[in-house]
């Protein structure tokens, strides 16, 4: 579980989103046992940051399922 240290300064961010996007965030919070919607967003940001760094480094991403490999285009 990602937690913000209490001694670190934080900033509030208000985000307007569709009902569908909000429902997806809530579903992910529930399915992943995240403590909050902010935690889901923080995790998503970490994944996005990782993928972006890998893309700019020239990496490729391959997904395997049921013995089938598929190359995924990064972002």
What's the total number of domains in the chain? 1
Rounded distance between C-alpha atoms, residue 47 and residue 53, angstroms: 10
Q: Is 6 a member of any domain? A: no
Residue 36 domain-assigned? yes
Between 28 and 73, residue with greater pLDDT: 28
Whether residue 27 lies inside any domain: the answer is yes
Asked if residue 33 is part of any domain, the answer here is yes
* pLDDT recorded at residue 8: 78
The whole-number pLDDT of residue 4 equals 58
Residue 3 binned pLDDT confidence (cut-offs 50, 70, 90): low
Q: Is residue 44 part of a domain?
A: yes
With respect to residue 50, please indicate whether it lies within any of the assigned structural domains: yes
Residue-number span of the structural domain to which 33 is assigned: 19-72
pLDDT band at residue 10 using 50, 70 and 90 as cut-offs: confident
pLDDT tens digit string along 13-70?
A: 899 999 999 999 999 999 999 999 999 999 999 999 999 999 999 999 999 999 999 9
* 7-40 core/surface letters (b: 16 or more CB in 10 A; e: else): eeeeeeeeeeeeeeeeeebeebbeeeebeeebbb
Distance CA 24, CA 5 (A): 26
Please tell me what DSSP assigns to residue 35. S
Residue 1 predicted with pLDDT over 90: no
């Amino acid at each position: 579980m990602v937690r913000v240290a209490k001694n670190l300064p934080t900033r509030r961010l208000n985000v307007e989103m569709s009902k569908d996007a909000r429902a997806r965030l809530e579903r992910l919070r529930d399915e992943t046992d995240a403590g909050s919607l902010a935690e889901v967003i923080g995790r998503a940001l970490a994944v996005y940051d990782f993928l972006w760094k890998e893309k700019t480094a020239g990496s490729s991403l391959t997904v395997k399922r049921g013995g089938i490999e598929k190359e995924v285009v990064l972002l």
